[in-house]
């Protein structure tokens, strides 16, 4: 068995919260640069330039990329040979979030659904656990903005709707969202499982680096087709027109019930922030 101290996990989570909110991932930056080269609209190019400049300022001056520093979402892969010394894993994660959002002066966005009273420290974090074999603990943090999350949807299609039905649902979702999710967006699609599993897969797919091809050739083809259809919508950067509505589309798929075809779309904005920590 391998033992990992509670405080080590807490400190790394704290660093990840601050780092992800200050430094845009190289894959997202590269996606924005590539989009600028291919963008026909002068206004669209100008906005992409501003997003690249915004990322530079945030990185160099150590300030958040966006005022919405997100709900704290975590994907945990916990090795079955790992124990946490000195406390429980969810407490280490929540304590790291508390300290990271406090010390990084990041906006606290978690509140009671009805009274809207802020919880004050951006907890509770949303944590998805997966038990895996081995002695490794992998935690991926996402700062998930409200504007893009609000545009997400899940549905149960009829099995006969097939690939065409899935593609129509995804493209319509992006079209109906217009400028609300702060385009250019990253489109996460979950297909299969049950309604909650499809939604989980859509969110998890957003962790895939921009530009990375799907290992399943059939899904890779659908992703390319969807990206073209979405960029043909003309919504463009910040919704002001142009060909760059999405930087990428990622799909995750699992088997489902013979009577169902669950599909979920989870959108991420251009401030697509995540960090991976391996212990």
Residues that bind ligand SF4 (CB under 6 A): 66, 68, 70, 145-148, 181-182, 269, 271
Residue nearest to ligand SF4 (CB): 145
CA dist 256 and 264 (Å) reads 13
CA dist 101 and 106 (Å) reads 5
> Shortest Cβ distance from residue 277 to ligand SF4 (Å)?
21
CA dist 74 and 127 (Å) reads 5
> Shortest Cβ distance from residue 143 to ligand SF4 (Å)?
7
End-to-end CA distance of the chain: 14
Whichever of 145 and 237 has its CB closer to ligand SF4, that residue is 145
Whichever of 70 and 193 has its CB closer to ligand SF4, that residue is 70
> Shortest Cβ distance from residue 68 to ligand SF4 (Å)?
4
> Shortest Cβ distance from residue 121 to ligand SF4 (Å)?
19
* DSSP result, 124-168: SPEEEEEEESSS-EEEEEEEE-HHHHTT-EEEEE-GGGHHHHHHH
Whichever of 25 and 87 has its CB closer to ligand SF4, that residue is 25
Whichever of 15 and 68 has its CB closer to ligand SF4, that residue is 68
> Shortest Cβ distance from residue 18 to ligand SF4 (Å)?
16
> Shortest Cβ distance from residue 235 to ligand SF4 (Å)?
14
What is the DSSP secondary structure assignment for residue 67, as one 8-state letter?
S
Q: Calculate the alpha carbon distances from 204 to 201, 220, 227, 245, 264 in Å.
A: 5, 16, 18, 21, 11
Whichever of 214 and 271 has its CB closer to ligand SF4, that residue is 271
Whichever of 104 and 181 has its CB closer to ligand SF4, that residue is 181
Two tokens at 194?
Answer: 């049950």
CA dist 192 and 150 (Å) reads 22
């Amino acid at each position: 068995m391998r033992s990992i101290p509670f405080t080590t996990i807490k400190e790394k989570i704290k660093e990840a919260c601050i780092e992800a909110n200050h430094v845009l991932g190289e894959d997202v930056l590269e996606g924005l640069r590539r989009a600028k080269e291919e963008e026909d609209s002068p206004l669209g190019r100008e906005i992409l330039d501003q997003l690249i400049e915004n990322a530079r300022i945030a990185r160099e001056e150590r300030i958040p990329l966006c005022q919405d520093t997100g709900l704290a979402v975590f994907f945990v892969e916990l090795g079955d040979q790992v124990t946490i010394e000195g406390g429980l894993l969810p407490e280490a994660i929540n304590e790291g979030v508390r300290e990271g959002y406090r010390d990084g002066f990041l906006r606290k966005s978690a509140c009671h659904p009805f009274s809207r009273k802020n919880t004050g420290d951006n907890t509770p974090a949303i944590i998805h656990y997966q038990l895996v074999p081995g002695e490794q603990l992998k935690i991926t943090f996402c700062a998930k903005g409200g504007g893009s999350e609000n545009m997400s949807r899940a549905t149960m299609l009829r099995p006969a709707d097939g690939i065409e039905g899935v593609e129509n649902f995804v493209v319509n979702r992006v079209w109906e969202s217009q400028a609300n999710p702060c385009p250019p967006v990253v489109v996460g699609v979950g297909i299969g499982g049950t309604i909650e599993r499809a939604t989980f897969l859509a969110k998890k797919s957003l962790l895939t680096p921009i530009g990375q091809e799907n290992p399943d050739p059939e899904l890779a083809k659908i992703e390319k087709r969807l990206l073209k259809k979405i960029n043909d919508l003309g919504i463009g950067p910040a919704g002001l027109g142009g060909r760059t509505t999405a930087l990428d589309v990622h799909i995750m798929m699992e088997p489902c019930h013979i009577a169902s075809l669950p599909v979920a779309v989870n959108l991420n904005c251009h401030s697509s922030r995540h960090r991976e920590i391996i212990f």
